[in-house]
Amino acid sequence: MRYITIFLVLLVAIVAADEGIFKAAEYTKMFTTWVAKFKRAFKASAFASKLAAFTKNVDRITRANAQSKVTGFTCGINKFADLTPTEVKKLLRLRKPKNKPSLLEGEAESAADGPAGASKPKVGTPETDAAFTAFKPINWLSKLTPVKDQGQCGSCWSFAATATVEAAISLKYGVAPPVLSEQILIDCIDAAYGCDGGWATDAFAFMKTTAKGAVETSSYGRYQEEQGECRKASVDKPKYSLASWQESGGSDKVLYSYLTKGAVGVAIDADTIVFYKGGIVRAGNNCTQEINHAVTVVGANTDAAGVKHWIVRNSWGADWGEQGYFRMQATGGNLCGIHETAQLPIVA
């Protein structure tokens, strides 16, 4: 009876499928293959709606790949292929702190006009201009923990924060990067919104003042993909502490200057890279400057064609993109909103 029900649902789904690039039966075949590959299980009642979302995403991916010579990157039918636009929005939940001004080129947050612990960086100096012009390769991947996965919790901000601090600790002390806890940030920061978003500098402030250091996962407990009760009183005294941080409204020159010191937290509009498979996201991409996702710039390079680009760590697992990373062109412009903020922690 179960198999008959599934068969009937498939028939209904095929008939109900909107006309697209492929025939309805082809979408269904692709979907059942995808379900098996990613080990997904759906209730029979949800199968048709998930197939419908998958169908629209396959069309989107196909059209995006047809423009890859312009956008610079290809897309693939990845683990997000069954998500509806509403479900994608839940994944992209970056939120600025309340009353936080926009940081534009030449502006910087200081201890006087920002949260305690922030230090004012030098921006737009001849030194930063010269460094960007030279654009020597930078690669901090050896100072990072393995790529993590935020799951269906909108906690990108916490992963960007821990990645930058993990790298900063490794760089300063010459040790393997510690695996820091995102969960304590999600559970315990009142200024943030848990799985509904937050901002990396809120995490820096928490590490500096409330937690008195960077709490490791081994002390607080594993990541849960949801906000829980704050248990900061029960953790061991952190081994590493945060002295301050720098945050500046950006330009590629400022971002490169920060990157010479360590991994840098940034924010982007990630709508167009949900299905990213590989390549360099270029100016031809139709992303906006409305930021919705926190990521970490961990390197800079120039490809064989002379395209300057950033190496960026995401928090969607190593099975996404280029083993959890993507590349984005250093255009000189505010591509996908990347100039909105640059965040660099400084460990004690």
Q: Convert the pLDDT of each residue in 115-155 to its tens digit.
A: 445 554 455 566 677 888 889 999 999 999 999 999 999 99
- Domain 90-347 of CATH type 3.40.50.300: no
pLDDT digits (tens, 9 = 90+) for 186-238: 999 998 999 999 999 999 999 999 989 999 999 999 999 999 999 998 888 99
H helix runs in the chain, sequence order: 2-16, 24-37, 44-66, 68-71, 85-91, 126-134, 156-173, 183-188, 200-205, 217-220, 252-259
* Least confident residue range of 1-10, 97-106, 290-299: 1-10
Catalytic site residues?
A: 156, 293, 314
Average pLDDT over residues 328-343: 92
Q: What's the confidence (pLDDT) of residue 50? A: 95
pLDDT digits (tens, 9 = 90+) for 253-306: 999 999 999 999 999 999 999 999 999 999 888 899 999 999 999 999 999 999
User: Domain coordinates of the chain in residue numbers?
Assistant: 2-66, 90-347
Class of residue 331 by CB neighbours under 10 A (exposed 0-12, middle 13-18, buried 19+): middle
Percent of the chain with pLDDT over 90: 74
* Least confident residue range of 25-29, 108-112, 188-192, 335-339: 108-112
pLDDT digits (tens, 9 = 90+) for 161-180: 999 999 999 999 999 999 99
Tell which wins on pLDDT, 8 or 62: 62
Cα Rg, the chain, nearest whole Å: 21
